[in-house]
Amino acid sequence: MRNFELPGRSAVFARNGMCATSHPLAAKVAVDILQAGGNAADAAVAGAILLGICEPQMSGIGGDCFILLKPAGEDRVIGLNGSGTAPAALSADALRAKGLAAMPIYGIDTVTLPGAMDAFCRLNADWGRAPLADLLAPAIRYAEEGVPIAPRVARDWAEDAGVLQGDARRFYLQDGQAPRIGQIFRAPGQAEVLRRVAAEGRAGFYEGAVAADMVASLQAMGGCHTAQDFADTRSFYTDPVSAPYHGIELVEHPPNGQGATALLLLNILKHFDIASLDPFGAPRAHLEAEASKLAYDARNRFLADPDHTARLAHMLAPETAAQLAALINPRQAMPAAAPLTEAVHRDTVYITVVDGAGMAVSLIYSIFWGFGAGLASAQFGINFQNRGAGFSLTPGHPNEAAGGKRPMHTIIPGMVKQAGRVVMPFGVMGGAYQPCGHARFVTNLVDFGMDLQSAVDAPRCFPAPDGLKVESGYAEGVKAELAALGHKVIAPEEPIGGAQAIWMHPDGVLEGASDPRKDGCALGY
């Protein structure tokens, strides 16, 4: 239990339904949908769509999503892959011929097809109860009337605004500047897009005037995207991957997401007595950092489009983790095993919803880096993602860029099982940090017995390409110990990640936690 004399927040408890996410308006809309008779799938779609209006620098209908769903009355977990492909005409050879040795971070070559909207429509059609139009109505209203800019959103918006180019500046800046805290952001073009989806379903987005706007805009900027690319975009169901850890089972979305990295990381940590360590001390941070370097190296080697990930079983095999654990020196940091394919970034939104019947949804939704590719469609202002930056240009690599292929993704929704029962949908945002964040959150709960909100609040560190990023919640003496172990200790540019979680107690009580690093909250009724 937290010290009530110090700043902090309590977990939220309710029985009938709950949402935890990074913006209060989205949490409120999700709970409103539940109270109006919708289920967790409905509420998650409504809340996620609104997050793209409330936090457009992190997410939006030009992006991708991944979903884990636990049906009501069951404990199986279903995966839904809402990531889009590269346009059919994309060629790694052509990119290399332009002089590129690696994928750029921004610009037209990084724009992959937006897969999230198809997944939202499919989730609603297959698992929802409410009409799609009812779920889109709140986001339409807020897009037209406007939303006040929240503090963390304002900070991120200002930092990311410099990447905006052309029409994107017209839609996402006000008088050429990032909006400030409390200023109103409106997106009438996106409201019109959502009205068309409400009336026509996925065809309102992937065909007709909206698709024509996206295709024309992308081609005008030099893209090879076609109307057929958009028409062919489809989400698909998949089977999650999982691994046991000290009495629980961590369930992750399979490739092309990086969830297997979190499983490998925990498999490595099982070879050490983590529970005997100080949760906020240097030895724990050191072991986690070393295990992360090795797990992320495996990620960079193996994970790719589902049709091109050939060594997933090897990555998750116990003997692989044992061999990697043996490489860790508890008294000396190793160099980074291999450069990470992207720097740490914060540009993701996450929402989890549980309803009174026991359906649970874990949904993560992103345009990748801040404002994605920095580009937007000319008519409706749809911000394009830069997920193509996640491809490799190494010839023959499983993740080599190619037309019709999905890049390796950083965003991962999670769930936890205990004794065969799903007990917690959760997510930890933060780009590359996410597998490390999943592992740390699980070990906070399992090894150190933290309550849900404390496990979210606890300080974080992460071995990024430029050094070991250590939040200010760590004592200075701990940072000195880490430096003595050989780590290049650096301060993160911003708080590391952001987590949301709901614990489903056996008596039906729901316990929600929301990260103070974000603007959001958990709400129940």
Residues annotated as part of the active site = 348
Contacts of 369 (CB under 8 A, 6+ apart): 105, 106, 160, 163, 345, 347, 386, 389
Answer yes or no: are the C-beta atoms of 432 and 336 closer than 8 Å. no
C-alpha–C-alpha distance, residues 125 and 134, integer Å: 13
Q: Which two tokens stand for residue 258?
A: 């990086």
CA distance 163 to 373: 8
| Cα diameter, the chain | 62
Rounded to whole angstroms, the Cα distance separating 2 from 502 reads 18
Distance CA 432, CA 422 (A): 26
d(CA 333, CA 165): 41
Rounded CA gap, 333 and 487, in Å?
6
**Nearest CA to 235 among 405, 387, 83, 79?**
83
What's the distance, CA 115 to chain centroid? 14
Does residue 133 contact residue 198 with C-beta atoms inside 8 Å? yes
Instruction: Please give the Cα distance from 353 to 27 (Å, whole number).
Output: 9
Could you tell me if 502 and 509 are in contact, meaning their C-beta atoms sit under 8 angstroms apart? no
**8 Å CB contact between 517 and 498:** yes
* Contact indicator for 169, 157 with CB cutoff of 8 Å: no
Q: In angstroms, rounded to a whole number, what is the distance separating the alpha carbons of residues 296 and 265?
A: 8
Q: Which residues pair with 502 in a beta bridge?
A: 512
Q: Cα(375)–Cα(314) distance, rounded to whole angstroms? A: 39
CB 62 within 8 A of CB 372: yes
- The CA distance from 490 to 414, in Å, is 28
C-alpha distances in Å from residue 417, one per residue of 206, 263, 422: 36, 14, 4
Q: What is the distance in angstroms between the CA of the first residue and the CA of the last residue of the chain? A: 23
Give me 31's structure tokens: 């709970």
State the residue for tokens 């983590």: 274
Rounded alpha-carbon distances, angstroms, from residue 145 to 23, 142, 284, 361? 17, 5, 48, 28
Neighbours of 24 (CB within 10 A): 15
